[in-house]
Chain A
Amino acid sequence: MTLQQTSAAALPRPARRRDRQRFWQEVAMIAPAVLLLAIFLITPFLLSFWTAMTNQPLVPRPTPVRFVGLLNFQRVFTDPLFWTSLWNVTRFTAWVLPVQCGLAFLTALLLHQKLPMQNLLRGMFFLPAITSMVVVCVIWGTLFQYPSGPLNQIVGFLSGGMVQPIDWLGDPNWAMFSIVLLSAWQAYGFQMIIYLAGLQGIPEELYDAARIDGASALRRFWHVTMPGLRPTHVFVLVITTIQAFKLYTQVAILTQGGPKESTETVVHYMVRAGFEEQKLGYASAVSVILFVIVLLIALLQRKLLRRFDV
C-alpha cells in the first residue's frame, strides 16, 4: 500500500492526473453499491444497536417508548432459554460442519474425476441446493413421520425389525440430529461447487510433476490436492459456521423450537420475541449479541487456521 503511494507520488504530473481521474471514476462506479449497502444494511444494523436499548414494541402502542439502557441485554443473559438456544446452535454447528462439508468435499472429489456425463451429474448433485428450503422441509417432514414414515420403514427393514421406529422430530434426543441430516443434505451443494472450483484451480502440472516423482494417488491427494485446497477449506468452514449459527427456517417449519426446547435456536428465539411477543427492543438485543458471537467465531477461526499456515 505505502509502496504504491510513494510510487504514485513519484510519477510525472500527467500520469497523476490520469490517476486522479481514474480514482473518481472508480468512486462513481462503486457509489451505487455503497449507497444501497448503507441504506439497507449498515443503517438498519446501527439502528438495531439503538433499538436494543429501548422497549420499542413491534407495532406502535399507546404506551410510550422509553430508553431502558442495558435492561434488554440483562434479561437476555438471565433467560435460561437463551442459553439453551445458544447451546443448541453450537451443537448443531458441531454436527453439521463435518457432515455437510465432508459430504460436499467427497462429492466434489468424485465429480472432479473425468466421469461420463459429468455436467449432468454435477447438476443432479447440486439439485437440493437450488430447491427451496421450505419445500425440502415439507418433504423431509413426511419422510420423518412417526411411526410409519418412509425413513422409519427403511430403518426397520435394514435392521430386520430390530430397531424400533424413531420419533425423529418428536423426541428431544433425536430432533436436532434430524434437522442436521436434512440441513446437510439440502445445503451441501453450495460447498460442493466451491470445492469443485478449488479443485479446478490446482494446476495440472503439479500432479504431472508428482506423478513423475513416482507419488501414489494417495500421496498426490495428501501433498498436492490438500495444500492446494487450503484457502477453499478456510472459506467453506467460515461460511458454513456462519450459516449454521443462523439456523432458522428448518426449525420454524418443522419443530418451532420444540420438543422440550431441543431445537430452539438463537434466530428462532429472536424472531419469536420480535414478532410473536412483539418486543422489538428485546429482539434487537438478541440480534446484537448474535452478531458479536458470529464475529468472534469468524475471527477465532481465521486466527486458528492462519496458525496452520494457510
Chain B
Amino acid sequence: MTTYLGNRLLSALFASSALLWSAGFVEAKSVIHVMHQGDPGWVKAYGDVAKRFEEANPDIDVEMIYAPHDAYNEKFSAAVMAKQLPDVMELDAPFLANYVWSGYLQPIKPLVDKDVLDDMTGSNIAQGTYPIDKDLYAIGLTDSSVVLYGNKKYLEAIGARIPKSVDDAWTREEFEGYLEKLSKLEGVKWPIDTFRGYGIKTEWITYAYGPLLESAGCDLIDRKAWKASGTLDSEACVKALTMMQTWVKNGWVVPTSSGTNQFYAEGQPAALAMGGHWFYAEAAAAMKDSIVVMPLPKIGDKGVSPNGTWIWGISASSENPEAAGKFLSFLLKDKDYRDYAKTQSAYPGLKSFAAESPLYAEGGPLAVAFEQASKTAVARPPHPAYPTITSAFMQAVDKIFNGGDAQEALTAAAKKIDQDIEDNAGYPPFDEQQ
C-alpha cells in the first residue's frame, strides 16, 4: 500500500518537474531579484511597481526581497556570504563607496535609459558616483535633506526671526538664544526634538548631526588624507559636540525614549524639530498651517546640510543586468510610484519629479530644503571605511549626549576609524588619492 502511494507520488513529482523544465525552454523566462527596505507603504509601492513591470514584460519575473531598515547592511552581508546577491538592490548612499570598492556593484550608465540618466539632479549624480573612477553606480528617484521645523505659535510668542532662505539661516547665538527662551515658555516641554528616538543604529546621528560639526569647522574624517585622528578629535569637533551635550544637559532636547512625534503630538510639547524632509508629511498632516520650515542653523561661518538617501544599484554578479536596468528605468518613470512618493513628501532627485512636486517648488513649503541641496549640502565621507566611520561616530555621540567626556569619546572613535583603515592597508587605491 505504502509503496504504491510512494510510487505514485514520485511519478507525479517527476511528471510535474519535467513539465516545469520543458516550460522553461518554451518561455525562457528570466528572473530578477530586487532587494529593498522601507516602511510598509513603500514596500507596497515597490511591490505594485514589480507587478506592473511583469505585466509590461511577460518574459521577466521580478522577485522582491524585503530586509528591514535597521539590519539592512547585516542582511546584505549575509547575501554576499551566501553568494546570493540580488540583481537590483537598494542601498544607502554613503555605503556606496564600500560596496563598489568591495566589487559588489557595476556601473549602471550602459543599463539604464538615457532619458532617466539625463533627468538626474546634480546631487543625485553625486550620491551615486564612485569617487575613484567617477562612474555612476546607483540612481534614485529621490534625494534627502534635513531642515529645522518650527511651531509658529511658539516662535511668535518669543518673537523669533523666521529665516526665509538658506542665506539668512539662524546663527549659533540666535539659535541657542531661542532654545533658552523656548525652554521657559509656557506649554513647551522641550525646545527641540533632534530625533534621538531614531536610536543609535539607524544612521540618523551621522546623517543629521554630522553637518552641524562640519558647519562648526570640523569633520568626521580628513577627506584628503583619510585620517580621523586630528580631525574628528580636534578642538572644533569637541566644542561642537560639547555644545550639543549642553543642550541635552539643559533638558532642551527630547530624550531617546520619548519617541519621534513630540513635535506634533497632543499639546505639541516640542517647539522645534531638526528633522528629515519625510517628517513634513506626518507633521503637516497634524499641524496644518502652524508648521514653519527653516534652514538648518549655522553653527560656524557656513551653513551645512546633509544629503543622500536610499538609491538603487545593480550588482556585479547579476546574470541579467539588462533586465535589471530595464526594471530600474521602469521604476523611476512609474507614475503611481511617484504619486506615492509625493504623499510622503519625498525629496526630488530627478528634475522631472521636482517639476511635479509643488512642495519643493519656488514658494512651496519645502523650497528651503531644496535650496539647501545646491547651497549647503555636503555628502557623508565617500570612503570604503564608512561602515566603521559611522558606527564609531554614533557610539561616541551616544556617549557624549549621555554625559560622557567629548574629547575622550571622540579620540576613541578616531582611533577606531584609523585602525580600520590601517587594517585594510588604506583601502587601496584610496590611500593614493590625496
Contacts and interface: CB of A to CB of B under 8 A. Distances in A.
B420 A277 contact: yes
Contacts of B200: 256-258
Interface in A242-265: 256-262
Contact of A259 (B391, B402, B423, B427): B402
B257 A167 contact: yes
A277 B102 contact: no
B118 to A, nearest CB: 33
Interface residues of A, number: 33
Contacts of B230: none
Of the listed residues A261, A276, A278, the one surrounded by the most CB atoms of chain B closer than 10 A to its CB is: A276
Interface stretch (B74-82, B234-242, B286-294): B74-82
B259 interface: yes
**Max chain A C-beta neighbours (<10 A), residue from B81, B103, B258, B404:** B258
A259 B73 contact: no
Contact of B398 (A61, A259, A275, A277): A259
Interface string A143-180: 01111000000000000000000011110100000000
B412 interface: yes
Given A63-B428, A146-B255, A169-B257, A260 B399 contact: yes
A277 B399 contact: no
B2 to A, nearest CB: 23
A62 interface: yes
A1 interface: no
Contacts of A144: 257
Nearest to A148: B258
A59 B81 contact: yes
A198 B287 CA distance: 60
A90 interface: no
A145 B258 CA distance: 6
A53 to B, nearest CB: 14
A146 B257 contact: yes
Contacts of A58: 77, 81
B352 interface: no
B165 interface: no
A146 B258 contact: yes
B256 interface: yes
Interface string B371-398: 0000000000000000110010001001
B102 A61 contact: yes
Contacts of A277: 387-388, 391, 420
Interface string A44-88: 000000000001011111110000000000010000110000000
B42 interface: no
B412 A80 contact: yes
Given A147-B258, A256-B199, A172 B424 contact: no
Nearest to B385: A277
Contacts of B391: 272, 276-277
Interface in B98-153: 101-103
Among A75, A167, A278, find the residue whose CB has the most chain B CB atoms closer than 10 A: A278
A272 to B, nearest CB: 7
Interface in A268-291: 272, 275-279
A172 B401 CA distance: 11
B341 to A, nearest CB: 29
Q: How large is the interface on B (under 10, 10 to 19, 20 to 34, 35 or more residues)?
A: 20 to 34
A59 B102 contact: yes
Contacts of A55: 423
Interface string B81-99: 1000000000000000000
A85 B368 CA distance: 44
B158 interface: no
A57 B102 CA distance: 11
B100 to A, nearest CB: 11
A99 B81 CA distance: 41
Contacts of B102: 59-62
B257 A61 contact: no
B51 interface: no
A22 to B, nearest CB: 30
A278 B402 contact: no
A169 B387 CA distance: 26
B403 interface: yes
Contacts of B258: 145-147
A167 B255 contact: yes
A257 B392 CA distance: 13
B257 A275 contact: no
A258 B387 contact: no
Nearest to B83: A60
A256 B399 CA distance: 12
Contacts of A57: 424
A278 B77 contact: yes
Interface in B188-211: 199-201
A259 B197 CA distance: 12
Contact of A63 (B81, B398, B425): B425
Contact of A258 (B73, B398, B419): B398
B403 A260 contact: yes
5 contacts: A169-B256, A258-B398, A259-B398, A276-B74, A277-B387
Given A59-B81, A272-B391, 9 more contacts: A63-B424, A63-B427, A80-B412, A170-B255, A257-B200, A260-B403, A275-B77, A277-B388, A279-B423
User: Shortest 7 CB-CB distances between A and B: which pairs?
Assistant: A260-B402, A170-B257, A259-B402, A146-B257, A59-B80, A258-B398, A275-B74
Interface of B: 73-74, 77, 80-81, 101-103, 199-201, 255-259, 387-388, 391, 395, 398-399, 401-404, 412, 419-420, 423-425, 427-428
